[in-house]
Structure 1
Amino acid sequence: MLLNNNVTEFILLGLTQDPVRKKIVFVTFLIFYLGTLLGNLLIIITIKTNQALGSPMYFFLFYLSLSDTCFSTSTAPRMIMDALSTKSTISFSECIIQVFSLHYFGSLEVFILILMAVDRYVAICKPLHYMTIMSRQVCGASVGVAWMGSCVHSSAQIYLTLSLTFCGPNLIDHYFCDLQPLLKLACTDTYVVNLLLVSNSGAIFMVSFVMLMFSYVIILHSLRNHSAEGRRKALSTCISHITVVILFFGPCIFIYTRPAITFPMDKMIAVFHTIGIPLLNPLIYTLRNAEVKNAMRKLSSKKLISDDKR
């Protein structure tokens, strides 16, 4: 593969070429990215340091926050730095690494969201067997499978990328490397590769979304047999999960289940997907979860007490 390839680097056109707008992009997305890091790292530290958050639900939330952090980091820092540059170039190898990391942590988030749905299903529909089914060993093995599945998916993306031949031009009309914009630059026929892309990424996102929504319909239907208090608590958690699922899968389905055709809103949808969602997820889970908020208050109070002692 990679035969007759004359391109050693690509030029990323970014979101805008206007100098004033590039400064606005820099400030805006620096704030967004720092907020993403702060929010997700706060959840990670809170779950790790609080024994009350030792249930499988928070075990999976820990890995969701971790994947959110890595997913955003795969694109945001470079986009922020490129906003200060007059010409944004990325080497071919860096481009390949970005494609791999973007799909690796994106697909990891898909698998984690599926595991969170399974956890809620067992907790609500099979409460007597919950601790047996969702044991620490099962949860750990499930996350391990999710990591391996993500590696398989992202490796397939790299294989498809390396099967393309680039002989110029090298202008990517995007702010990061992905298989979709790279298809437009290939010198060879991309019909089969695009078909494989839709079959791989598109099918994963579409099938996973349908499965998740169907599972939450079953979960919500089963809540009619619960007490008012139990129904309120479970409903609050499920609504948070459903909101995250819709926000995450909506852009994925739009981007990866269609032919390689450019739409005016593509970049903004990609921004929402790679920068916005990792920022919103910690807000959604903390604002609607009393246990996480209480644990964060305890963590901050411990920090204040330790600072006072010094």
Structure 2
Amino acid sequence: MEQLKKTWLLQPHKRPKLLIVDDQPTNIRVLHELFREDCDVFMATSGEQAITVCLAQIPDLVLLDVVMDGVDGHEVCRRLKADPATQDIPVIFVTAKQQDSDEVLGLELGAVDFISKPINPIVVRARVRTHLTLKLQNDLLRSMALLDGLTGVANRRKFDEEISADWRQCFREQKPLSLILADVDFFKRYNDQYGHQAGDSCLRSVAQALSETVRRPYDLVARYGGEEFACLLPTTSHAGAVEIAEKMQANVRALAIEHSTSDADHVVTISLGVATVTPTGVLAFEALIDAADMQLYEAKNAGRARVASVEM
């Protein structure tokens, strides 16, 4: 798996996640032994369990048996490909069925490969290595396309994808989802006074200060547009989100970037709007954005360089 390791050096904090699905424990043990040194291996012994693990872990590849009691492999693949949260997970069918029609059906359902039982360890390792490498390379290219070129944080497209996914997850778990919208105060005046290059440098510094405030890997700081930033905080209470917003405000002020034409302070400051909601079937995530935007307006209207918040 040497090429896979080289590809993964670009993301050294992670190892590939591999899900093995088979209702025969012996088959799972054989595949687990093949990949435990190179991957974080997850296991499922039924179709329903496989879907649950996929939603919870979002593996990089699934080795999926076809013939299982209850929900079979074909139905698992159909459900994974129908759900936006799991549709990009590559699936390899591992099955004793060897008819051409079986392979064609698997590929039509969205599988990327088809391995026959009894397995040949060399063949299985080679095919898993190939598809994991492709997945990791595609993830890297996609992540680069979802970064803001100026500030290095996530871009608006990434934010739109994440808030939709976070909304669905928090709805399933009935956990709160918090959103912070932040705006650099009197930024047009800053550009007019110090020039656009200084303005770009200011935005980069603000983005870094905001990013350093959040710690969890699933929290997201994104450039929402112009001098406005957004921070998504899944499973975060209203009080916790307000605390983070206040830290963001303090961290930006601590940069001590001179802003002589600001009416809020002599240094660069930000105004922040915070909204928190536990998603329901009645609301859509746009309601959370509207609420945070309204709080941002309230913060600006109250004099800027402050936090305004609401719990929906």
How high is the TM-score relative to the length of structure 1?
A: 0.26
Structure with the higher fraction of residues in helix conformation: 1
How high is the TM-score relative to the length of structure 2?
A: 0.26
Bigger relative contact order (CA 8 A; separation at least 6): 1
